[in-house]
Amino acid sequence: MSTRIFKYSLYLFMFFISINGISQSSKPIPELQKKLSINQIAPKGWLKEKLRQNLNGFTGHLDELEPTLIQDDDIYGKDRLSKKVQHKNVGAMSDAVEFQSQFLWWNSETQSNWFDGYIRTAVLLHDSIHLKKISTKINYLLSTQDADGYLGIYDKELRYNFNDENGELWSKTTLCRALLAWYDYSKDNRVLNAVLRCADNVITNYPINASHPFATKNPYAGGLTHGLAFTDVLEQLYVITKDHKYLDYIPFLYNDFSKQNLNEDAQQFKLMKASVPLMGHSVHTYEHLRTVAAAYQATGDASLKLTLDGFLQKINQVTTASGAAIGDEFIGGRKADATNAGYEYCSLLELMDAYISLYKKTNDPNYANKIEKLFFNAALGASHPTESSICYLKTDNSYALEGGKNGDQSDKNQTRYRYSPVHKEAAVCCVPNAGKIVASYVENMWFQNGNNVLALLLGPSELKFNLKGNPITIKEITSYPYSNKISFKITNKKSERFSLIIKKPEGVEKLILNMPYEEKGGYIQVNRIWKNDDELIVQMDMIVQSHHTAQGEQYFMYGPLVLAHPIDAKQQITKNYSVAGLKEMTYTAFDKSIYLYTGMPVTKMESLNDIRFSTTMKESTTGKIVPLELIPMGKTILRQTTFKKAD
Ligand SMILES: [Zn+2]
Selection from 125, 175, 551, 597 nearest residue 341 by Cα: 551
* DSSP 8-class letter at 323: S
Domains and CATH numbers, the chain: 1-30+265-382 (no CATH), 66-263 (no CATH), 447-541 (2.60.420), 544-640 (no CATH)
Which pLDDT belongs to residue 21? 53
Residue 208 CA to ligand 1 center (angstroms) comes to 31
Q: What percent of the chain has pLDDT over 70?
A: 93
Residue 110 CA to ligand 1 center (angstroms) comes to 10
Residue 39 CA to ligand 1 center (angstroms) comes to 28
Residue 343 CA to ligand 1 center (angstroms) comes to 9
Residue 112 CA to ligand 1 center (angstroms) comes to 14
Q: Please list, in sequence order, all residues whose beta carbon lies within 8 angstroms of the beta carbon of residue 256, skipping any fewer than 6 positions away.
A: 211, 212, 213, 214, 215
pLDDT at residue 114 tops 80: yes
Positive/negative CA dihedral, 639, 571, 438, 309: negative
CB burial string 72-94: b at 16+ within 10 A, e below: ebebbeeebbeeeeeebbbebee
pLDDT in tens, 133-146: 999 999 999 999 99
Residue 106 CA to ligand 1 center (angstroms) comes to 11
Distances (CA, A) of 350 to 347, 354, 546: 5, 6, 28
Q: How confident is the model at residue 68 (pLDDT cuts 50, 70, 90)?
A: very high
The better pLDDT of the pair 412, 127 is held by 127
Residue 564 CA to ligand 1 center (angstroms) comes to 24
Average pLDDT, the chain: 93
Angle made by CA atoms 179, 182, 188, in degrees to the nearest 5: 95
166 with 90: CB under 8 angstroms?
A: yes
pLDDT in tens, 328-364: 989 999 999 999 999 999 999 999 999 999 999 999 9
Q: Please list, in sequence order, all residues whose beta carbon lies within 8 angstroms of the beta carbon of residue 608, skipping any fewer than 6 positions away.
A: none
Average pLDDT value for residue range 83-96: 47
pLDDT at residue 8 tops 60: no
pLDDT in tens, 500-539: 999 999 999 999 999 999 999 999 999 999 999 999 999 9
Selection from 464, 458, 433, 430 nearest residue 444 by Cα: 458
pLDDT in tens, 468-495: 999 999 999 999 999 999 999 999 999 9
Residue 118 CA to ligand 1 center (angstroms) comes to 17
**Residues 571, 510: Cα–Cα separation, whole Å:** 42
Q: What percent of the chain has pLDDT over 90?
A: 90
User: H helices of 363-427, where?
Assistant: 365-373, 380-382
pLDDT in tens, 602-630: 999 987 778 999 999 999 999 999 999 99
Residue 423 CA to ligand 1 center (angstroms) comes to 9
Residue 641 CA to ligand 1 center (angstroms) comes to 23
Which pLDDT belongs to residue 41? 98
